[in-house]
Structure 1
Amino acid sequence: MRIATIYGSTRRMGNTELLVERMMKGIDHRSIYLSDLNIRPIIDQRHDEGGFDPVNDDFKEIVDLFLTSDLIIFATPLYWYGMSGPMKNMIDRFSGAVRDERYGEELKTSLQKMETIVVTVGEITLG
Protein backbone atom coordinates (compact mmCIF):
# COMPACT_ATOMS: atom_id res chain seq x y z
CA MET A 1 0.00 0.00 0.00
CA ARG A 2 1.34 3.43 -0.96
CA ILE A 3 0.77 5.88 1.88
CA ALA A 4 1.30 9.63 1.87
CA THR A 5 0.98 12.18 4.64
CA ILE A 6 0.15 15.78 3.84
CA TYR A 7 1.17 18.09 6.68
CA GLY A 8 -0.79 21.34 6.90
CA SER A 9 1.14 22.88 9.76
CA THR A 10 3.43 25.84 9.22
CA ARG A 11 5.65 24.63 12.07
CA ARG A 12 8.04 21.71 11.61
CA MET A 13 8.14 19.10 14.37
CA GLY A 14 5.05 20.61 15.98
CA ASN A 15 2.37 18.60 17.75
CA THR A 16 0.72 17.43 14.54
CA GLU A 17 3.91 16.05 13.02
CA LEU A 18 5.02 14.47 16.30
CA LEU A 19 1.71 12.64 16.68
CA VAL A 20 1.63 11.39 13.09
CA GLU A 21 5.27 10.28 13.20
CA ARG A 22 4.50 8.30 16.36
CA MET A 23 1.37 6.85 14.73
CA MET A 24 3.30 5.88 11.57
CA LYS A 25 6.43 4.55 13.28
CA GLY A 26 7.77 1.62 11.25
CA ILE A 27 5.32 2.21 8.38
CA ASP A 28 6.73 3.34 5.06
CA HIS A 29 5.08 6.56 3.91
CA ARG A 30 5.88 9.66 1.94
CA SER A 31 5.57 13.06 3.64
CA ILE A 32 4.60 16.32 1.94
CA TYR A 33 4.79 19.61 3.81
CA LEU A 34 2.40 22.21 2.43
CA SER A 35 4.59 24.92 3.96
CA ASP A 36 7.30 23.90 1.46
CA LEU A 37 4.98 24.32 -1.53
CA ASN A 38 3.55 27.35 -3.26
CA ILE A 39 -0.15 26.58 -3.53
CA ARG A 40 -2.18 29.60 -4.54
CA PRO A 41 -5.67 30.18 -3.12
CA ILE A 42 -8.54 29.25 -5.38
CA ILE A 43 -10.26 31.80 -7.58
CA ASP A 44 -13.74 30.33 -7.91
CA GLN A 45 -14.48 30.20 -11.62
CA ARG A 46 -16.86 27.24 -11.57
CA HIS A 47 -19.60 29.30 -13.19
CA ASP A 48 -17.43 31.23 -15.65
CA GLU A 49 -17.89 30.34 -19.31
CA GLY A 50 -14.21 29.44 -19.70
CA GLY A 51 -13.97 27.59 -16.39
CA PHE A 52 -10.87 27.74 -14.23
CA ASP A 53 -7.77 29.51 -15.48
CA PRO A 54 -4.50 27.56 -15.18
CA VAL A 55 -2.52 28.47 -12.06
CA ASN A 56 1.26 28.45 -12.04
CA ASP A 57 2.13 26.94 -8.67
CA ASP A 58 3.03 23.62 -7.03
CA PHE A 59 -0.46 22.08 -6.92
CA LYS A 60 0.52 19.50 -9.55
CA GLU A 61 2.70 17.87 -6.87
CA ILE A 62 -0.45 17.32 -4.82
CA VAL A 63 -2.34 15.90 -7.80
CA ASP A 64 0.59 13.56 -8.56
CA LEU A 65 0.56 12.44 -4.91
CA PHE A 66 -3.14 11.57 -5.17
CA LEU A 67 -2.56 9.69 -8.42
CA THR A 68 0.22 7.57 -6.91
CA SER A 69 -1.11 6.87 -3.39
CA ASP A 70 -3.62 4.41 -2.00
CA LEU A 71 -4.02 6.15 1.36
CA ILE A 72 -3.64 9.85 2.18
CA ILE A 73 -3.29 11.12 5.72
CA PHE A 74 -4.35 14.74 6.10
CA ALA A 75 -2.54 16.04 9.17
CA THR A 76 -3.41 19.53 10.36
CA PRO A 77 -3.35 21.50 13.54
CA LEU A 78 -6.63 22.95 14.72
CA TYR A 79 -6.56 26.70 14.12
CA TRP A 80 -9.61 28.70 15.18
CA TYR A 81 -11.91 25.65 15.09
CA GLY A 82 -10.82 24.51 11.65
CA MET A 83 -7.97 23.19 9.56
CA SER A 84 -4.89 25.27 8.84
CA GLY A 85 -4.91 27.82 6.02
CA PRO A 86 -2.43 25.85 3.86
CA MET A 87 -4.58 22.70 4.18
CA LYS A 88 -7.75 24.64 3.31
CA ASN A 89 -6.10 26.19 0.23
CA MET A 90 -4.97 22.75 -0.95
CA ILE A 91 -8.40 21.18 -0.51
CA ASP A 92 -10.18 24.13 -2.15
CA ARG A 93 -8.01 23.75 -5.23
CA PHE A 94 -9.54 20.36 -5.98
CA SER A 95 -12.64 22.23 -7.25
CA GLY A 96 -10.60 23.28 -10.27
CA ALA A 97 -8.45 20.16 -10.50
CA VAL A 98 -11.37 17.79 -11.05
CA ARG A 99 -12.41 19.98 -14.00
CA ASP A 100 -8.89 20.30 -15.41
CA GLU A 101 -8.40 18.48 -18.71
CA ARG A 102 -4.75 17.78 -17.85
CA TYR A 103 -5.85 15.37 -15.14
CA GLY A 104 -8.98 14.06 -16.84
CA GLU A 105 -10.92 11.16 -15.45
CA GLU A 106 -7.80 9.68 -13.85
CA LEU A 107 -7.97 12.12 -10.94
CA LYS A 108 -11.70 11.65 -10.43
CA THR A 109 -11.28 7.87 -10.41
CA SER A 110 -8.36 8.11 -8.00
CA LEU A 111 -10.34 10.31 -5.62
CA GLN A 112 -13.26 7.88 -5.64
CA LYS A 113 -11.00 4.96 -4.65
CA MET A 114 -8.80 6.92 -2.24
CA GLU A 115 -8.73 5.96 1.40
CA THR A 116 -8.13 8.83 3.80
CA ILE A 117 -7.37 9.48 7.42
CA VAL A 118 -7.70 12.91 9.00
CA VAL A 119 -5.52 13.76 11.99
CA THR A 120 -6.42 17.05 13.68
CA VAL A 121 -4.42 18.18 16.68
CA GLY A 122 -5.38 20.92 19.11
CA GLU A 123 -2.70 20.51 21.72
CA ILE A 124 -1.09 17.35 23.04
CA THR A 125 1.51 16.26 25.50
CA LEU A 126 3.57 13.30 24.40
CA GLY A 127 5.37 11.40 27.13
Structure 2
Amino acid sequence: MVSKLQSKSSKDSMQGAAEFKNEIELLSRVHHKNVVGLVGFCFDQGEQMLIYEYMAGGNLRDCLTGRTGIKLDWRRRIMIALGSARGITYLHELVSPPIIHRDIKSTNILLDEKR
Protein backbone atom coordinates (compact mmCIF):
# COMPACT_ATOMS: atom_id res chain seq x y z
CA MET A 1 0.00 0.00 0.00
CA VAL A 2 1.33 3.37 -0.97
CA SER A 3 -0.33 6.64 -0.14
CA LYS A 4 0.81 9.59 -2.18
CA LEU A 5 0.32 13.32 -2.03
CA GLN A 6 -0.86 15.27 -5.05
CA SER A 7 -1.68 18.83 -5.98
CA LYS A 8 -2.71 20.88 -8.99
CA SER A 9 -2.59 24.48 -10.02
CA SER A 10 -5.75 26.30 -9.01
CA LYS A 11 -7.97 27.38 -11.89
CA ASP A 12 -8.27 30.79 -10.26
CA SER A 13 -4.51 31.09 -9.88
CA MET A 14 -2.94 34.10 -11.52
CA GLN A 15 0.35 32.27 -11.77
CA GLY A 16 2.33 33.51 -14.75
CA ALA A 17 4.10 31.45 -17.37
CA ALA A 18 7.52 31.91 -15.74
CA GLU A 19 6.27 30.74 -12.34
CA PHE A 20 4.49 27.78 -13.94
CA LYS A 21 7.71 26.80 -15.74
CA ASN A 22 9.63 27.03 -12.45
CA GLU A 23 7.03 24.82 -10.75
CA ILE A 24 7.36 22.21 -13.52
CA GLU A 25 11.15 22.24 -13.22
CA LEU A 26 10.96 21.84 -9.44
CA LEU A 27 8.35 19.06 -9.52
CA SER A 28 10.21 17.15 -12.24
CA ARG A 29 13.03 16.62 -9.70
CA VAL A 30 10.70 15.13 -7.07
CA HIS A 31 11.00 11.34 -6.99
CA HIS A 32 9.73 9.42 -3.98
CA LYS A 33 7.47 6.39 -3.65
CA ASN A 34 5.05 8.37 -1.46
CA VAL A 35 4.70 11.40 -3.73
CA VAL A 36 2.90 11.11 -7.06
CA GLY A 37 5.17 11.63 -10.02
CA LEU A 38 4.70 14.45 -12.49
CA VAL A 39 3.91 12.87 -15.87
CA GLY A 40 3.42 16.01 -17.91
CA PHE A 41 1.84 19.41 -18.12
CA CYS A 42 -0.41 21.54 -20.32
CA PHE A 43 -0.24 25.26 -20.89
CA ASP A 44 -2.76 26.06 -23.60
CA GLN A 45 -4.99 29.09 -24.08
CA GLY A 46 -4.21 30.34 -20.58
CA GLU A 47 -5.01 26.99 -18.91
CA GLN A 48 -2.29 25.60 -16.67
CA MET A 49 -2.47 21.94 -15.73
CA LEU A 50 -0.06 19.54 -14.11
CA ILE A 51 -0.56 15.86 -14.97
CA TYR A 52 0.35 13.29 -12.34
CA GLU A 53 0.57 9.51 -12.39
CA TYR A 54 -2.70 7.60 -12.04
CA MET A 55 -3.48 6.06 -8.65
CA ALA A 56 -5.98 3.22 -8.97
CA GLY A 57 -7.06 3.27 -5.30
CA GLY A 58 -8.60 6.73 -5.52
CA ASN A 59 -8.33 9.19 -2.69
CA LEU A 60 -8.44 8.71 1.06
CA ARG A 61 -11.64 10.72 1.53
CA ASP A 62 -13.64 8.43 -0.75
CA CYS A 63 -12.38 5.39 1.14
CA LEU A 64 -13.18 6.89 4.54
CA THR A 65 -16.67 7.99 3.53
CA GLY A 66 -17.55 4.62 2.03
CA ARG A 67 -17.83 5.78 -1.58
CA THR A 68 -15.43 3.07 -2.74
CA GLY A 69 -17.10 0.31 -0.76
CA ILE A 70 -13.74 -0.62 0.74
CA LYS A 71 -13.29 -0.69 4.49
CA LEU A 72 -9.93 0.43 5.82
CA ASP A 73 -8.86 -1.62 8.81
CA TRP A 74 -6.51 -0.10 11.39
CA ARG A 75 -3.42 -1.67 9.85
CA ARG A 76 -4.21 -0.07 6.48
CA ARG A 77 -5.00 3.26 8.12
CA ILE A 78 -1.64 3.26 9.89
CA MET A 79 0.16 2.36 6.64
CA ILE A 80 -1.59 5.28 4.89
CA ALA A 81 -0.64 7.67 7.71
CA LEU A 82 2.99 6.49 7.64
CA GLY A 83 3.16 6.76 3.84
CA SER A 84 1.75 10.28 3.96
CA ALA A 85 4.21 11.27 6.70
CA ARG A 86 7.11 9.86 4.65
CA GLY A 87 6.01 11.86 1.61
CA ILE A 88 5.72 15.07 3.62
CA THR A 89 9.10 14.47 5.27
CA TYR A 90 10.69 13.94 1.86
CA LEU A 91 9.24 17.21 0.53
CA HIS A 92 10.19 19.22 3.64
CA GLU A 93 13.64 17.80 4.38
CA LEU A 94 15.13 16.04 1.37
CA VAL A 95 14.13 18.14 -1.65
CA SER A 96 16.29 21.14 -2.40
CA PRO A 97 14.82 23.67 -2.15
CA PRO A 98 12.27 22.28 0.31
CA ILE A 99 8.64 22.09 -0.83
CA ILE A 100 5.88 22.99 1.61
CA HIS A 101 2.68 21.36 0.29
CA ARG A 102 0.15 23.82 1.87
CA ASP A 103 -2.92 21.78 0.86
CA ILE A 104 -2.72 18.45 2.64
CA LYS A 105 -6.20 16.96 2.93
CA SER A 106 -7.87 13.60 2.46
CA THR A 107 -8.72 14.27 -1.20
CA ASN A 108 -5.02 14.91 -1.92
CA ILE A 109 -3.88 11.65 -0.38
CA LEU A 110 -4.07 9.08 -3.14
CA LEU A 111 -3.96 5.32 -2.71
CA ASP A 112 -2.45 2.70 -4.97
CA GLU A 113 -4.30 -0.42 -6.10
CA LYS A 114 -3.33 -2.24 -2.91
CA ARG A 115 -4.87 0.51 -0.78
TM-score higher than 0.5 here?
Answer: no
Asked which structure has the greater RCO (Cα within 8 Å, sep 6+), the reply is 2
TM-score, with length taken from structure 2:
0.32
TM-score, normalization by structure 1: 0.30
